[in-house]
Amino acid sequence: MSPASPLSDAAPVLEICIESVQGALAAVEGGADRIELCSALAADGLSPDAEVAHAVRRQCLLPLSWMVRPRPGDFHYSPDETEAMVAEIQRARDGGADGVVLGVLTSQGAVDQTATQRLVEAAYPLPVTFHRAFDQVSEAREALEDLIACGVTRVLTSGQQRNAIQGADLLAELVAASRGRLTIMPGGGVRAHNLAALRAVTAATEFHSSAARRSSEANPAWQTDLEEVRALAKILHR
């Protein structure tokens, strides 16, 4: 990895992925700038439970991005599933979401432009983040242009590697290629111990982390780690 061009003057943004009210409160206390709300973090995130979402919205004033993913598994959805996602977007709007997070691919591993355009239009004027389905596309640069054409606001990606550090070179290329037309947000293994290096290499301004840890060996559920959020925020905002 080699350093990218000088960092942008844009204010850095720390997004924390959470699945509970407790996670949202930890994100707020720790200094996050935005939260992504989902369920089933262990399955890489699904649409949140409506009651949890409304409770989070009542208790958290941070900008809230709402995951729209109806099932685990691949990101190739049937027309009926796409329409179910449209309905989920409406629930997100009604629930006070400030943005939605989604990803739709063709069976050939390309961005499904027709479905993505449909979902972007359903979400308007809320911003749309295309999630790590991007890491499964066969041609990253072509997919980037497709998403720009569809009106997507942001791409969450690990640079098509297991984690963002391993994918940092591609992330830097995508940041440069985007030319400000959308935001490339590194995610996947982003932690306080690697955030500074990742920012220097990619020149990205927004970063996504679960900042999570296992509750205990007896209780394997994930919990947002307040101290990790604090450490991430301190590095990004200093």
Tens-place pLDDT, residues 106-163: 999 999 999 999 999 999 999 999 999 999 999 999 999 999 999 999 999 999 999 9
Q: What is the pLDDT of residues 57-89, one digit of tens each?
A: 999 999 999 999 999 999 999 999 999 999 999
Residue 5 lies in a domain: no
Q: Please tell me whether the peptide bond between 125 and the residue prior to it is cis, using omega within 30 degrees of 0.
A: yes
**Structural domain includes residue 146:** yes
Within a domain: 96: yes
Q: Look at residue 82 in the predicted model and tell me its pLDDT.
A: 97
Instruction: Give a yes or no: residue 147 inside a domain.
Output: yes
154: which strand partners? 129, 183
Specify if 8 maps to a domain. Answer: no
CB 157 within 8 A of CB 174: yes
Residue 85 sits in which domain range? 13-237
- The CATH number given to whatever domain includes residue 202 is 3.20.20.380
Q: pTM of the predicted model, to two decimals? A: 0.93
Q: Is residue 3 part of a domain?
A: no
Confidence bin at 100 (pLDDT 50/70/90): very high
The answer to whether 16 and 32 are in contact (CB under 8 A) is yes
CA 189 to chain centre: 13
- With a CB cutoff of 8 Å and minimum separation 6, the contacts of 214 are 220, 221, 222, 223
Q: Tens digits of per-residue pLDDT, 125-141?
A: 999 999 999 999 999 99
By CB atoms closer than 10 A (0-12, 13-18, 19+), residue 120 is buried
99 vs 8, which has greater pLDDT?
Answer: 99
Q: How many domains does the chain have?
A: 1
Contact 229, 31 (CB under 8 A): yes
- Element (DSSP H or E) covering residue 234: helix 226-237
For residue 2, is it within any domain? no
Average the pLDDT over 48-63 and give the result.
96
Handedness of CA 118, 40, 197, 170 (dihedral sign): negative
Report if residue 7 sits inside a domain.
no
Judged by DSSP in three states, 43 sits in: helix
Around Cβ 52, how many Cβ atoms within 10 Å?
18
